[in-house]
Amino acid sequence: MTGLHKLTLAETQRKFTAGEVTAHDIVQSYALRINQVEPKVKAYVTQTVSSAIEQADALDEKLKGWRRTMPLMGMPVAIKDNICTEHVLTTCSSRMLGNFTPPYDATVIARLRGQGYLLLGKTNLDEFAMGSSTENSAFGPSRNPWNVSHVPGGSSGGSAAAVAADECVAALGSDTGGSIRQPAALCGVVGLKPTYGRVSRFGLVAFASSLDQIGPITKDVTDAAIMLNVIAGHDPLDATSANLPVPDYTRAFKKKDLKKLKVGVPKEFFAEGLDPEVEQAVQAAIEELKSLGGTIKEISLPTTDYAVAIYYLIATAEASSNLARFDGVKYGLRAKQSKDLLDMYMKTRQEGFGPEVKRRIMLGTYALSAGYYDAYYGKAQAAREMTKKDFDEAFNEVDLIVTPVTPTPAFKLGEKSEDPLQMYLSDIFTISVNLAGLPAISIPCGFSKAGLPIGLQLIGRPFEEETILRAAHAYEQATAWHAKKPNIR
C-alpha cells in the first residue's frame, strides 16, 4: 500500500488496528517519503529509519493473532533532538553534544516506547532551543516545506517541517517561549504547548527550567489529543510535574460547537507590527468561532508590551545556569590541547557553543551577577507575576483567549539572522503564555498571498487543555486549512 504517509495519526492507527496495513507498510511509506523530500527539507539531524523498520517487523511478528490496542503502537514519530533517547544521539543541534548518546530515555520517550511507537529520527532545532528559525543549528538550517527559501520557524523547526512534509506521522517539540507554536504556525500544522507541569521534563535538555514544556506537533487537532494522552501525567522524576489526573483528551471533541464559551480577544495583540494578511486571517477565524456559537469579548492584557523583555531576562538567566554543566568534564565535547583545567573549560565552551548560545549565557550571567540581580532578574520576576495576574483577571471574564501566533508568515532564510532583536520579536505573541505557565495551541487558519501558512493561537486556563482542544477541533471541522499540503516532492 502506498501513500500511507499522507494519513493522520488517527487514520493510520485505524487502518493498523483493523489489520489493513502492517507496521512495516507504514514505516516503509515514511522511509520512501523521507528519501524523496529530506534532501530539500533537512528536518532530521539523525535518522533511525532502518532500526524503525526492524522494530516494525518484530512488532508485526508479535502481533500475529493479538489484539492491537495501544494508540501509538507501530506509529512512526520524530523527536526534537533536545529530548533524550537511549542509545540514540541527542545533540541539541550543538557541537557541544555532537557525540552525546544518552544512557537513558526521557520520560516522554519511555511512555511512547511503552506503547510500541517507532522512532524515525531526531529533528533539527536552534542550538539548545535558542532561536526562532533553526538557523542557529550547528548542522545548518531546516527549510519550510511550503517554500524552501523560507525558514520553518523555530526552535522546533525540524519537527514542524517533518510533520508538514509528511516525513513522520507526528512529532514532539519543546516550547520555552513559543518553540512549538511558532514553527507549527509557519509550517501550517498543529502545535500544542501544555500547561507547565502537565508533561514531565525529565530527559529534556534544560534551557529555561521554569518555562520549558514538551508537547506534540501533529497533522491535526485529534492527533494532538492522542499524543497528549500518552505523554501527560505526573512523573516522580520531575519535581515540577503536576500530580493531577489526566483526562482522555479525545473526549473533548464530543461537543462540536462553542456554545456557552466566552472567547477573549486581547486588544494589545492587534497593534502595530502585525502583518495585514495575518490580521485578516485571524479576524476571519474569530468570526468563525463566533458563528460556531462562541461569545466574543474584547479584553486587555496590559503587560504584553513587556513580555519580550521579561522573557529575555528570565530565560537567559536560567540558561546561563543550566548550561554551566557543559564544561568538557562529564560528557559531550572536550577541547584538545589545553594547558590546565581552567583552560580546558574555556576552550571547550568556546569551541562547543555557537554565537547565539554564547550571547544568551553572557546576558544571563550579567542579569544574575551581584549588584545587578535585583535590578534585572528580580525585576523580571516581579513583572512575570504581573503577567500572570493579567491572565488571571482575563480568565475571570472569558474561557479562552484567541490571538495570532506570529506577527508575520515565515520569513526568508537569512532575513533576520543578523539582527537578534528582530528575531526575538517574532515570539512576541507566544512568550507571555510561557511566563504564565498556560496551555496554548496553534492551528492553521489561512495562507498569505505568497502561499505561506498562517496560525491561530488559542490560550486556556491552567490545566484546561480540553477547552482549547475542543475549540480548536470545532474550528478545524468547520474549515479546510488543515487539509492543505505543501507541494513538495
Q: Would you please indicate which residues are annotated as catalytic (active-site) residues?
A: 80, 155, 179
Between 3 and 140, name the residue whose CB sits nearer to ligand GLN.
140
Binding residues for ligand GLN restricted to 398-427, rule: CB under 6 A:
427
Count CB-CB contacts under 10 A for residue 390.
22
When asked if residue 437 is in the footprint of ligand GLN (CB under 6 A), the reply is no
Q: Which residue is nearest to ligand GLN (CB)?
A: 179
Binding mask 248-287 for ligand GLN (x = CB under 6 A): ----------------------------------------
Q: Shortest Cβ distance from residue 259 to ligand GLN (Å)?
A: 34
From 42-50, 173-181, 198-206, 460-468, give the range in contact with ligand GLN by CB under 6 A.
173-181
288: cell is 468563525
172: which strand partners?
Answer: 79, 216
d(CA 462, CA 432): 13
- Of the two residues 132 and 448, which places its CB atom closer to ligand GLN in the complex? 132
Per residue in 225-244, is it b (16+ CB within 10 Å) or e — as a string? bbbbbbbbbebeebeebbee
CA distance linking residue 457 with residue 336, whole number of Å:
47
Residue whose CB is less far from ligand GLN, 175 or 238: 175
User: Degrees (nearest 5) of the Cα angle 367, 369, 375?
Assistant: 55
Which of residues 145, 158, 178, 328 is near ligand GLN by CB under 6 A? 178
Nearest distance in Å: CB 40, ligand GLN: 24
Residue range at the interface with ligand GLN (CB under 6 A); choices 21-29, 113-121, 177-185, 262-270: 177-185
Give residues 335-364 in contact with ligand GLN (rule: CB under 6 A): none
Quick one: which of 85, 94, 124, 176 contacts ligand GLN (CB under 6 A)? Answer: 176
CB 12 within 8 A of CB 26: yes
List the one residue from 94, 179, 195, 200 that touches ligand GLN (CB under 6 A).
179
Q: Facing residues of 459 across strands?
A: 401, 440
Amino acid at 91: T
List 76, 141, 152, 177, residue binding ligand GLN (CB under 6 A):
177
Distance CA 449, CA 342 (A): 55
Q: Can you name the residues that pair with 122 across neighbouring β-strands? A: 46, 79
Question: Rounded to 5 degrees, what are φ and ψ at 297?
Answer: -140, 130
Query: What would the grid cell of residue 169 be?
Result: 506521522
Does position 315 interact with ligand GLN (CB under 6 A)? The reply is yes
Could you tell me how many residues of this chain bind ligand GLN (CB under 6 A)?
Answer: 13
User: Which residues 364-403 are close enough to bind ligand GLN by CB under 6 A?
Assistant: none
Report the SS3 class of residue 218.
Answer: strand
Contact status, residue 419 vs residue 479, Cβ threshold 8 Å: no
Beta carbon nearer to ligand GLN, 399 or 427: 427
Q: Which residue in this structure is represented by grid cell 527539507?
A: 41
Residue 131 near ligand GLN by CB under 6 A: yes
Q: What is the C-alpha to C-alpha distance for residues 254 and 361, in angstroms, rounded to an integer?
A: 47
141 CB-near residues (< 8 Å, 6+ apart): 42, 124, 133, 134, 135, 151, 157, 413
Select 29 or 123, whichever has its Cβ closest to ligand GLN.
Answer: 123
For ligand GLN, the binding residue among 27, 96, 129, 357 (CB under 6 A) is 129
- Strand 400-404 vs strand 262-266: parallel, antiparallel, or unpaired? parallel
The site string for ligand GLN over 194-213 (x = CB under 6 A, - otherwise) reads -------------x------
Site string for ligand GLN, 132-171 (x = CB under 6 A): x----------------------x----------------
Q: Which amino acid is at 54?
A: E
Q: Which cell numbers hold the place of 453?
A: 501558512
Distance in Å, CB of 311 to ligand GLN, minimum:
7
> How far apart (Å, rounded) are the C-alpha atoms in residues 187 and 121?
19
- Give least dist CB 128 to ligand GLN, A: 8
Laid out side by side, the sheet with 76-80 consists of: 44-47, 118-123, 76-80, 170-174, 214-218, 190-193, 440-447, 453-460, 400-404, 262-266, 295-299
CB of 401 to ligand GLN, least distance (A): 19
Query: Which CB sits closer to ligand GLN, 264 or 354?
Result: 354
| Nearer of residues 315 and 410 to ligand GLN, judged by Cβ | 315
Asked whether the beta carbons of 182 and 487 are under 8 A apart, the reply is no
Tell me which residues touch ligand GLN (CB under 6 A). Answer: 129-132, 155, 175-179, 207, 315, 427
